[in-house]
Amino acid sequence: MNNTLNIIKDKTLTYEQKVLSLAREAENSLDVLNLSKEIQSLRDEGVICDLYEGNAPYRPRYICPDYEKFIKEGSEFLNLNPPKDIWEATTNLLILYKHVPSITSMPVYIGNIDTLLEPFVVDEEEAYRAIKLFLLQIDRTITDSFCHANIGPIETKAGRIILKAQRELETAIPNITLKYGEGTSKEFAIDSINTALVTAKPSFANDKMFSKEFAPYKYAIASCYNGLYIGGGSLTLVRLNLYRASKKATSKEDFLENVLPYVMDQMSEYIDKRIKFIVEESNFFETNFLVKEGLIHKDRFTAMFGMFGLAECVNNLLNATELKDRFGHSEKANKLGLEIIDKMYEIVNSRVNKDCSITDGHFLLHAQVGIDTDNGTSPGCRIPIGEEPDLPIHLMQSAKFHKYFPSGIGDIFPFESTAKKNPEAILDIINGAFKEGMRYFSLYSSDCDVIRITGYLVKLSDIKKLEEGEQVLQDTVVLGLGAVKNSRVLDRKVRDND
C-alpha cells in the first residue's frame, strides 16, 4: 500500500506514467508462478533478474506485428481499410501502434517504416510533411525509448525523407536501425551516418548475418537491438548476472563445470514457468485481435536468455586487477570470456521448450544492455567504460562474441564532432567491423543532445530536467538518469575517425 501511495504522490511522474506504475504494482501483488526456493534465492541474490516483467505475465514481452500485411489488408477489428495515400498510411499505422502491447505497454517494433511508406510517396514534398508529422507524433505519444523502427537495406525515397526529418526533429523516439548489407547504396549509408552523428540513430545491423539466421522468415530489430521474427517476437527475457554468479565459484573450473550450469538450469526453469503462464493461462493468444487477424502467430515467438557482466565475471575469476590482465586487454581474459559464452551457447541449445518451435525449441542468447540500477556491471559482453582499448583492437575483440547472439548484441562508439566532416571514414570502420563478424554497430557524436544510453536513446536535456525535479514526457529518461549516475555512460571513450 505504501508503494501505491508513493506512486500516486510522486511529483516527477506524469499521469500516464502513474497509471503504468500502478498497473505494475497490481500485477506484482500476485504470486502465480510457483517458484522453487532455488530460483527465488537466485532472484533475491540478483543472479537472476526478470527485468521488471512482473509476477503474472499477461502479454509477450516483445511483439513484432506483420505491418506489411496490415498495410495491404487493413484491420477488421480497428475498422480500417487499406490506405490509399500517404496520409491514410501514416494515420493507420499510428492507430495500430496504440493497440500493440509489450512489456512497456507500448510497441517495441513499429515496422520497416521506409518500405511500408514508399508505395505512397508520390509527391515528395507532401510525403515529407506527412512523414515528419508521423515521426513527431510517435515521439510525443509513444513515450518510451524502446520503440524501434527499421529502414533499409534498399535505399528508398521514404528512407531518405525519414533520415532528413530525424536530423531536423532530433527526437529520441523512435530508435532506428538501418539493415545494412550489399544492397545498401553507399549514399544511403553515408546519409544514415550523417543522421546518427546528429541524433544517435540509425544504428547499423549486419543484414547478411541476420537474414541468414532468421530465414526463411523476415527479421525485425526491436526494442534495444533485439533480432526477432516478424509476425512473432519474444515471450520473455530473463537475464543472468555473470559477475554475481562468478562470486559463487571457488575457481574458474568450478564456475564452468558447476556454478554456470546450475544457475543456467535454474534460470531456464524460471523462463519455462513464465512462458507456460503466458501461453496457457493468460489467454493472450486466444483473445488478441493481432492473432485473429494474422498479424502475429504464436508459433513465431521464442524466448530470450539474457546475460550481462561478462567482463566483471572474467576479471573476478582471474583476479585481474591491472588493466593489462583484464577483459578486453588480455588474451587470457578474452579467451576465458569466449569459453564462458561458448559454454552458455551449448547449454542453452541443449534445452527444449515446446513453445519456442520457431527456434527449434531453444531460447536465443541475448547480450542484455543493462538497466538503471546496474552499478559496476557492464552490459552484455562489453568492455567496461573507462577501459576501452584503441578502436581497431576494440572492434576485433568485440566481433568474436557476436555470432553467439542472434537475438541481439552490440557496441556503442561515440565519435568526436569533427567526424561529421568525414563520414566515409566511419563507413569504412563499419564495413571492416562487419567483415570481422560484428552484428550491430551504434554511433553518435560527442556533441549530440540525443545520446545512446545502452540500447535506447535519451535526450541529455531531458535528463537534466528530471534531475532538477521536473516532469519529462518519456518514461525512459528515468532509466537514462540512473545509467548516467551508476554506469558512467557519459564517460565512454570518444573516438576520432582517422
- The cell numbers describing 194, all together, are 550523417
C-alpha 433/C-alpha 341 separation (Å) is 20
Averaged over 74-83, what is the pLDDT? Answer: 98
Res 498 pLDDT > 60? no
Contact 436, 402 (CB under 8 A): no
Contact 204, 177 (CB under 8 A): yes
C-alpha 133/C-alpha 130 separation (Å) is 5
Contact 147, 172 (CB under 8 A): no
Parallel/antiparallel/unpaired status of strands 219-222 and 226-229: antiparallel
Predicted confidence band at 373 (pLDDT cuts at 50, 70, 90)? confident
C-alpha 259/C-alpha 335 separation (Å) is 19
Least confident of 265-269, 271-275, 418-422, 464-468: 464-468
- The cell numbers describing 359, all together, are 527456434
Listed in sequence order, the residues at least 6 apart from 168 whose beta carbon sits closer than 8 Å to its beta carbon are: 132
Total count of residues recorded for the chain: 498
Averaged over 488-498, what is the pLDDT? Answer: 83
267-310 pLDDT tens trace? 999 999 999 999 999 999 999 999 999 999 999 999 999 999 99
Confidence (pLDDT) at 42: 98
- Return the half-sphere exposure (C-beta side, CA atoms, 13 A cut-off) of residue 457: 29
Confidence (pLDDT) at 287: 97
Helix (H, G, I), strand (E, B) or coil at 417: helix
Confidence (pLDDT) at 497: 62
Confidence (pLDDT) at 362: 98
Averaged over 64-87, what is the pLDDT? Answer: 98
Kindly report the pTM of this predicted structure.
0.95
Res 4 pLDDT > 80? yes
Written as one letter, the residue type at 266 is: Q
Helix (H, G, I), strand (E, B) or coil at 259: helix
Angstrom distances, CA of residue 356 to CA of 98, 102, 362? 27, 18, 6
Res 339 pLDDT > 90? yes
Q: What is the mean pLDDT of the chain?
A: 95
Confidence (pLDDT) at 1: 64
Res 412 pLDDT > 80? yes
Confidence (pLDDT) at 454: 81
C-alpha 448/C-alpha 441 separation (Å) is 17
Confidence (pLDDT) at 128: 98
Ordered DSSP codes for 157-195 = HHHHHHHHHHHHH--S-SEEEEEESTTS-HHHHHHHHHH
Averaged over 220-231, what is the pLDDT? Answer: 97
Confidence (pLDDT) at 476: 78
Burial-class residue 324 by CB neighbours within 10 Å (0-12, 13-18, 19+).
Answer: exposed
- The cell numbers describing 349, all together, are 541449445
